[in-house]
């Protein structure tokens, strides 16, 4: 992700600090101020011995006047924080990484004229007198490493004395540099004019997220001043770190079916071209953002989507589409580097599997960014293969959510807010069952029933309980001739076996609509493999023949039933037609004349003798008879129904129409087809009759009898 923040040894850091800071540069930094303590003065008196001439003995000692010189010891020291060459009372906004060490650097200078010993301590305190960002967590305490530039001390004895004064810190001297390490809250001794570069390391807790603020202090307490003027004995520097990580703003969007915001997808549109996805990642600018190096954007496509192709990739970006997570395709996008405030965008197209997405109904395509604190490439497949994961799925089950640090500023309204589309896959499909054409008697009625089924994945009806979207179901039943003899009557619907009048919308064109409370729920197929039909509603209507037209086999009417679903992505339902034909009994009477040729004893033919006769209806072939001729009548009844049986069919011939001119021969005979079974005859009254118990569909029955013309 980024290079290590500190890759120098503490010794090197200390030397660099000492070489880069001058006494003048520290003039405005925290100093104790001169603290003077009077020591015993120097009272100096001279003496002299002398001889006079060649005397062997000295004269009495001569003493001079006493000269008194007063001695004043002055202690003065400073403590400064050093970061990036800035000299201050604080180290502020030092970039930190979770789980790694961060170093704080300070310089302690003995600016007095006495050797002084200083107690150095690190704390997790937040000093109210020093202005840094508010403490989020306390910094750890630690041992303190130091380096001292002793090039000003050339006398070996003085150097040895310095080492002796710092025995507890294991001071060693290499060239002109003295160095060592002291435990926290231990001492270091400096000769006048010496400066010690102090450094200590603390570990940033692994659970800290980007922007987390750590605050602590380093203090130096003068032993000399503690005795002389306690109020000035301690100087304080504050150290403040900030966890610095990339802040990923992930924006996933989709376009489909000519919509720039693909929030719905019509699975019935076979010219869709799939879905075009865009993943845009911004390294958002915050006060703790840093460059992201070698991170991975992973998109685990929802079941039912497969990678098709991608647009030209940006420079420094590669894509791998070979991975699978169960039945879901994994797309890994590796980005070399993304600076703060920079954006990388990758676009690709996916194919859709209609049955799977139809069953799913919706799909939310999430993207997750994986990154490491250093510049190594993360491995999203293992929980310890990455340091950061930032997903558009804020409630996901990715192990990174619980086990790895994430960047803040990720929720709604924050700079790193992530967005991703949820697409509703609409597969509206309504079917209606057909019905066989029917036959109706001259006086009677037939009922047509159809079942409307929701085979799709959306609620169908005037109002949806699931999403409140209106998807009315309109039914049109055409009645080409709404006057007699045939007319549509009593349209109804049924959901529970009973029937309810179908609400009329427009009587003029026969438009009806299922009421608001009739909602057809979708099917519940699992992964689209085994469809389970959704709810159904039965509709029906009656075609009535009023008995005003007996033109059977000719009079018919075709009704068209059209189901029209409403709302977005409404499916097309092919219309149905029902043809109703008036059927019944067709009756034909024929006659054949058997000439007597003047013979009064002619016997009219019966039985098989009828087979040779030539019957006529008297219109196409004239029928002429003379006295003593036989007239044989044949009455044929045909059942024109294709599906219905006629019962109690009575054929009759009124005697009064001919008995004044001819004499009945008593030979009435009836047949059903060629059988006499189920046939009854009666010629005792005013009529000659034959009753047929049943007449099958498309079957015929006959009645024959003969009369002889009177002279």
The reported pLDDT for the residue numbered 289 is 94
* Angstrom distance (rounded) from CA 498 to CA 221: 97
379 lies in a domain?
A: yes
Last residue of a domain, one of 408, 426, 444: 426
Task: Write the CATH number for 454.
Answer: 2.60.40.740
Q: Is 322 exposed, middle or buried (0-12, 13-18, 19+ CB in 10 A)?
A: exposed
Residue (of 681, 591, 705, 584) closest to 637 by Cα position: 584
SS (H, E, C) 37-95: EEEEEEEEEEEECCECCCCCCECCCEEEEEEEEEEEEEECEEEEEEECCEEECEEEEEE
The reported pLDDT for the residue numbered 415 is 87
Percent of the chain that is helix, strand, coil (3-state, to 5): 10, 45, 45
Residue 576: other Cβ atoms inside 10 A: 16
Q: Do 341 and 420 belong together in one domain?
A: yes
65 lies in a domain?
A: no
Q: Do 400 and 496 belong together in one domain?
A: no
286 lies in a domain?
A: yes
Q: Do 335 and 348 belong together in one domain?
A: yes
399-433 burial, b for 16+ CB within 10 Å, e for fewer?
ebeeebbbbbbbeeeeebebebbebbbbbbbbbbe
Q: Do 569 and 501 belong together in one domain?
A: yes
* Angstrom distance (rounded) from CA 538 to CA 498: 10
Q: Do 574 and 620 belong together in one domain?
A: no
Contact 18, 211 (CB under 8 A): no
48 lies in a domain?
A: no
Q: Do 142 and 213 belong together in one domain?
A: yes
Mark the ranges of the chain whose per-residue pLDDT is less than 50: 3-14, 19-28, 70, 397-403, 526-531
Q: Do 483 and 574 belong together in one domain?
A: yes
The reported pLDDT for the residue numbered 10 is 46
Task: Write the CATH number for 417.
Answer: 2.60.40.1510
Q: Which residues contact 193 (CB under 8 A, 6 or more apart)?
A: 110, 111, 152
DSSP class of residue 291 equals: -
Contact 333, 296 (CB under 8 A): yes
Domain holding 532, by residue range, is 430-582
3 lies in a domain?
A: no
pLDDT tens-digit map of 667-699: 999 999 999 999 999 999 999 999 999 999 999
The reported pLDDT for the residue numbered 134 is 95
The reported pLDDT for the residue numbered 169 is 81
Structural domain total, the chain: 4
Last residue of a domain, one of 539, 564, 582: 582
Q: Do 291 and 375 belong together in one domain?
A: yes
Task: Please tell me the number of Cα atoms within 13 Å of 13 on its side-chain side.
Answer: 24
Q: Are strands 630-639 and 422-426 parallel, antiparallel or unpaired?
A: unpaired
The reported pLDDT for the residue numbered 60 is 81
* Angstrom distance (rounded) from CA 51 to CA 71: 37
Task: Write the CATH number for 235.
Answer: 2.60.40.10
Q: Roughly how many angstroms between the first and final C-alpha of the chain, as a whole number? A: 131
616-638 burial, b for 16+ CB within 10 Å, e for fewer?
eeeeeeeeebeebbbbbbbbbbb
Q: Which residues contact 189 (CB under 8 A, 6 or more apart)?
A: 115, 116, 117, 118, 162, 165, 166
Q: Are strands 213-222 and 137-138 parallel, antiparallel or unpaired?
A: parallel
* Angstrom distance (rounded) from CA 354 to CA 270: 10
Q: Which residues contact 271 (CB under 8 A, 6 or more apart)?
A: none
Q: List strands edge to edge, sheet with 292-300.
A: 317-325, 328-338, 292-300, 367-371, 388-391
SS (H, E, C) 119-177: EEEEECCCCCCCCCCCCCEECCCCCEEEEEECCCCCCHHHHHHHHHHCHHHCCEEECCE
DSSP class of residue 412 equals: T
DSSP class of residue 502 equals: P
257 lies in a domain?
A: yes
Contact 572, 626 (CB under 8 A): no
Q: Do 344 and 326 belong together in one domain?
A: yes
Q: Do 536 and 671 belong together in one domain?
A: no
Q: Do 349 and 474 belong together in one domain?
A: no
Per-position DSSP letters for 575-631, written without gaps between them = -EEEEEEE--EEEEEEEEEE--TT-TTPPPP-GGGGGG---B-SSSS-----TT-EE
| Model confidence, pTM | 0.73
Residue (of 382, 289, 386) closest to 334 by Cα position: 386
* Angstrom distance (rounded) from CA 173 to CA 171: 7
Give the dihedral sign, CA 311/314/315/321: negative
Q: Do 497 and 437 belong together in one domain?
A: yes
Residue (of 207, 9, 203) closest to 96 by Cα position: 203
4 lies in a domain?
A: no
Task: Write the CATH number for 629.
Answer: 2.60.40
Residue (of 700, 330, 358, 697) closest to 526 by Cα position: 358
Last residue of a domain, one of 547, 582, 617: 582
55 lies in a domain?
A: no
pLDDT tens-digit map of 139-173: 999 999 999 999 999 999 999 999 999 987 889 99
Q: Which residues contact 345 (CB under 8 A, 6 or more apart)?
A: 278, 279, 280, 281, 314
């Amino acid at each position: 992700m980024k290079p290590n923040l500190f890759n120098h040894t503490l010794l090197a850091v200390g030397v660099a600090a000492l070489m880069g800071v001058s006494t003048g540069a520290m003039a405005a930094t925290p100093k104790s101020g001169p603290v003077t303590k009077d020591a015993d003065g120097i009272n100096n008196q001279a003496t002299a011995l002398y001889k006079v001439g060649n005397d062997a003995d000295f004269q009495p000692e001569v003493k001079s006047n006493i000269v008194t010189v007063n001695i004043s010891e002055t202690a003065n020291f400073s403590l400064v924080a050093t970061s990036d060459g800035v000299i201050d009372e604080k180290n502020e906004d030092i970039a930190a990484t979770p789980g790694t060490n961060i170093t704080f650097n300070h310089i302690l200078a003995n600016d007095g004229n006495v050797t002084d010993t200083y107690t150095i301590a690190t704390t997790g305190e937040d000093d109210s007198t020093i202005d840094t960002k508010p403490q989020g967590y306390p910094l750890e305490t630690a041992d303190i490493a130091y380096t001292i530039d002793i090039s000003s001390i050339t006398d070996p004895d003085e150097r040895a004395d310095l080492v002796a004064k710092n025995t507890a810190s294991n001071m060693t001297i290499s060239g002109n540099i003295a160095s060592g390490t002291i435990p926290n809250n231990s001492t270091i001794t400096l000769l006048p004019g010496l400066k010690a570069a102090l450094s200590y390391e603390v570990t940033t807790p692994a659970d800290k997220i980007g922007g987390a603020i750590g605050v602590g202090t380093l203090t130096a307490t003068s032993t000399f001043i503690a005795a002389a003027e306690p109020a000035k004995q301690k100087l304080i520097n504050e150290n403040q770190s900030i966890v610095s990580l990339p802040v990923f703003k992930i924006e996933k969007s989709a376009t489909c079916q000519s919509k720039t915001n693909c929030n719905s997808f019509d699975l019935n549109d076979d010219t869709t071209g799939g879905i075009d996805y865009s993943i845009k990642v911004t390294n958002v600018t915050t006060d703790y953002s840093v460059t992201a190096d070698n991170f991975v954007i992973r998109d685990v496509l929802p079941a039912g989507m497969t990678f098709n192709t991608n647009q030209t990739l940006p420079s420094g970006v590669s894509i791998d589409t070979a991975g699978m997570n169960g039945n879901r395709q994994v797309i890994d996008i590796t980005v070399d580097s993304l600076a703060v405030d920079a954006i990388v965008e990758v676009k690709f197209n996916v194919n859709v599997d209609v049955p799977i997405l139809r069953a799913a109904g919706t799909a939310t395509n999430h993207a997750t960014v994986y990154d490491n604190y250093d510049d190594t490439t993360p491995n999203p497949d293992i929980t310890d293969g990455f340091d950061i994961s930032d997903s558009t799925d804020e409630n996901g089950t990715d192990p990174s959510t619980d086990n790895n640090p994430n960047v803040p500023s990720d929720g709604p309204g924050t700079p790193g807010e992530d967005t991703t589309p949820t697409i509703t896959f609409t597969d509206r499909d309504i079917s209606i069952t057909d019905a066989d054409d029917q036959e109706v008697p001259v006086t009677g009625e037939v009922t047509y029933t159809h079942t409307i089924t929701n085979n799709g994945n959306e609620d169908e009806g005037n109002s949806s309980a699931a999403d409140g979207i209106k998807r009315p179901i309109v039914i049109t039943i055409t009645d080409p001739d709404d006057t007699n003899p045939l007319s549509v009557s009593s349209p109804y619907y049924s959901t529970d076996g009973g029937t309810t009048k179908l609400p009329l919308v427009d009587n003029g064109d026969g438009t009806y609509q299922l009421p608001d409370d009739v909602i057809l729920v979708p099917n519940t197929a699992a992964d689209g493999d085994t469809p389970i039909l959704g709810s159904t509603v039965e509709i029906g209507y009656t075609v009535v023949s009023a008995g005003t037209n007996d033109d059977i086999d000719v009079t018919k009417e075709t009704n068209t039933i059209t189901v029209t679903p409403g709302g977005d992505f409404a499916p097309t339902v092919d219309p149905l037609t029902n043809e109703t034909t008036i059927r019944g009994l067709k009756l034909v009477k024929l006659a054949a004349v058997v000439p007597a040729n003047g013979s009064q004893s002619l016997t009219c033919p019966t039985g098989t003798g009828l087979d040779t006769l030539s019957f006529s209806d008297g219109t196409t072939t004239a029928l002429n008879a003379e006295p003593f001729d036989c007239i044989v009548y044949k009455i044929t009844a045909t059942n024109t129904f294709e599906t219905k049986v006629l019962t109690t069919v009575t054929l009759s011939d009124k005697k009064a129409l001919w008995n004044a001119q001819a004499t009945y021969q008593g030979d009435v005979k009836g047949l059903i087809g060629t059988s006499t079974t189920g046939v009854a005859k009666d010629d005792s009254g005013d009529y000659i009759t034959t009753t047929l118990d049943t007449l099958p569909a498309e079957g015929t029955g006959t009645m024959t009898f003969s009369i002889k013309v009177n002279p």
